[in-house]
Amino acid sequence: MSLMSSLYVGVSGLRVSQNSLNTTAHNLANVDTTGFVRQQVLQSDSTYFNWGVTHLSTLQSGLGVDIATVRQVRDVFLDKAYRQEIGRQGFYEVQYEAVQEVESMFGETEGVTFQDSLEDLWTSLEELSKTPDLIEVRATVVKSAESFLERAEIIQKQLKEYQVNLNTQIQDKVDRINEIAEEIDDLNEKISRYESNGLENANDLRDERNNLLDELGQIISITYKENSNGVVTVSAEGVQLVGETTVYKMGTAKVSESSNLLKPVWISYDNEDVFNLDQAVSSENDTDIGSLKGLLVTRGDDIANYTDMFKSQEEYNNTINTSVIMTVQAQFDQLIHGVVTAINDILCPNKEITLADGTKMTVLDEDNAPVGMDSAHTMGEALFNRESTDRYEAVDVQILDEDGNLQTISVMKYNEEDPDDYYSLFTLGEIEINPEIKNNYSLIPLSSNDGTGDVDMKTAEALVSKWQEPFATLSPNTLTVNNFNDYYTAFTGELANRGEQLNSISSNQATLSSNINDQRQQVAGVSSDEELTNLIKYQHAYNASSRYITVIDEMLEHVISTLGR
């Protein structure tokens, strides 16, 4: 090897050592930078030249060392596992937050519970059963009923508002998904252009892109792959979000024409739904990933009421029970409906009659209905009314008497509740205290209709005994039929258990995600001790190369000066 070639070997050592020092310094400067992946210089032999051949081998001399690449040290399998588990964590976290929010509405965590209003109403009815003729006691019942209904209306209103307000979070997440997709597409272009010469890696840009993939994985279930040009394509929920040259946008649309609730749709794919919420949520099928989907599942796609409790078990579990908010709305409304209709049906009992054409009609049972203690002995005034539908309607109907003769009679036809007609229901938002009774407590029908004006103690006592009778199961999934107090206890208990389960799952997921991330950091994270050791190593290598060049320089000077003599 010539001295000039030897000089080149020394220069290559200087260059590689300098680059290694720069990379190490870059690692140390970013030791606390979130998402930074340590970089590593890989060295390789430089060019060899042949200067002879023996019977054993080719005689070669090397020209030093080259930088093969400056690579990122990361584990792609841990990256994928982390993004999946952080997405699952987000799915359950938003549901647990919803349970906490709902519990605060009922005051279960603040000491002022809705159960107080329920018990106040019961206490007032109990006092009424003792002295039903006292106006003061009647006034207490009306005030307790008004307070009970007002508190229930406030809770239901808060549930609806919270449900609609989740639209903001859903819209924000959809917007962020689009922003991340645009940023990934922009980084794809930069990385591809930067690495097009095949000599350098755009490692810092890759760190930015990986940070975005981490964030995206928490919001929605993603898959991705990188092509030979360094371009990453991303799919969300099985649909391409970032292509090699195109970003496919998401947007939001109303769940239905009459709904205020929003759902994510693919703008770039004819407004197709992003999520198939008909699929059962399970970890086995990976259908429980992403905070965006968690919000949609928590919110549900409609405002529920007590009529949803009449669904079949399968339909209930598929449409109501999956949603925290819809479950609470339906179960709570069933309690209010049960209390309201139980009191009304005692004060204004109904019966069924058969009309001349054979059809059935529900009417006020005027033979057994109690009356008010006003001078007119008013009958049929319930404590609770529907705002849009009167309880009774005076009509003339034809029936057959005992002898089979056609007879026309006047009856008070009961306007039935129709599940398909919201305004016919005794549901929160449509219930009010009877304004007639609010203005005149004597209209509460607690007197006998036999003309004596005596107090009807059976009716007053029935209001108390009815409170203790079983009225409904908590859901189609349970068999226990509860009275009003037990129902509310079971209702809040189930909500608390659901919150505990969601909290447990999200906490376990947080631990799992953290453990995977720790494993990632063991591979990709910067160790200051290790980098300082490398700094010393490369500094020594640099000094050695410098000393080597000095020796070669002295040898060249000696040769040249000797030849000059």
Q: Per-residue pLDDT tens for 202-215?
A: 878 888 898 999 99
Is 62 part of any domain?
A: yes
CA dihedral sign, ordered 21, 27, 30, 35? positive
Say if 48 falls within a structural domain: yes
> What is the number of other CB atoms lying within 10 angstroms of the CB of residue 306?
24
Quick one: pLDDT at residue 195?
75
For 166-179, what is each residue's pLDDT tens digit?
999 999 999 999 99
Asked, for residue 53, whether it belongs to a domain, the answer is yes
Structure-token match 């081998």, residue found? 57
Q: Which residues contact 322 (CB under 8 A, 6 or more apart)?
A: 277, 281, 297, 300
Give the tens place of pLDDT for each residue, 438-477.
999 999 999 998 877 788 899 989 999 999 899 999 999 9
161: pLDDT strictly greater than 80: yes
Return the structure tokens found at 3: 């001295």
How far is residue 500's CA from residue 427's CA, in Å, rounded to a whole number? 29
Q: How far apart are CA 462 and CA 528, in angstroms?
A: 79
Rg (CA), the chain: 39
Residue 30 domain-assigned (yes or no): yes
In a domain, residue 20? The reply is yes
pLDDT confidence bin for 74, thresholds 50/70/90: confident
Kindly report the three-state secondary structure assignment for every residue of 474-531: CCCCCCCEECHHHHHHHHHHHHHHHHHHHHHHHHHHHHHHHHHHHHHHHHHCCCHHHH
CB proximity list for 546: less than 8 A, separation 6 or greater: 10, 14
Handedness of CA 466, 467, 469, 472 (dihedral sign): positive
Dihedrals φ, ψ of 484, to 5°?
-60, -45
Pairwise CA distance, residues 304 & 334, whole Å: 10
* 3-state SS string for 141-156: HHHHHHHHHHHHHHHH
Residue 533: what pLDDT? 80
Q: Over the stretch 388-418, which tens digit does the pLDDT of each residue have?
A: 999 999 999 999 888 888 999 999 999 999 9
* Strand partners for 65: 45
Structurally, the chain folds into a number of domains equal to 1
CA distance 186 to 164: 34
Whether residue 288 is predicted with pLDDT greater than 60 in this model: the reply is yes
Closest by Cα among 410, 332, 295 to 118: 332
Q: In the prediction, which pLDDT does 487 show?
A: 95
**366: which 2 tokens?**
């005027």
For the chain, the helix, strand and coil percentages under 3-state DSSP, each to the nearest 5? 55, 15, 30
pLDDT tens-digit profile of 225-255? 989 888 999 999 999 999 998 999 999 999 9
Q: Is residue 344 part of a domain?
A: no
SS in 3 state form for 199-223?
CCCCHHHHHHHHHHHHHHHHHCCEE
What is the DSSP secondary-structure string of 131-196?
-TT-HHHHHHHHHHHHHHHHHHHHHHHHHHHHHHHHHHHHHHHHHHHHHHHHHHHHHHHHHHHHTT
In a domain, 482, yes or no: no
The answer to whether position 218 is within a domain reads no
* Cα distance between the two ends of the chain: 24
pTM of the shown model: 0.83
Residues in the chain: 565
pLDDT reported for residue 485: 93
Q: How many helical (H) and strand (E) elements, i.e. helices and strands, does the chain have? A: 12, 18
Q: Phi/psi of residue 349, each to 5°? A: -65, 145
Q: How far apart are CA 63 and CA 499, in angstroms?
A: 68
Q: Please report the pLDDT score of residue 545 as a whole number.
A: 77
494-514: pLDDT as tens digits: 999 999 999 999 999 999 998
Q: Which residue, 461, 493, 484, is CA-closest to 338?
A: 484
| Structural domain boundaries, residue 56 | 3-73+527-563
d(CA 223, CA 217): 9
What is the pLDDT of the chain when averaged over all its residues? 87
Q: Residue 192's Cα: distance from chain center in Å?
A: 36
Residue 565 is predicted with a pLDDT of 60
Q: Poorest-confidence range of 22-26, 265-269, 432-436?
A: 22-26
Q: Is 417 left (phi over 0), alpha (psi -120 to 50) or beta?
A: beta
**Which amino acid is present at 559?**
V
Q: CA–CA separation, 342 vs 466, rounded Å?
A: 7
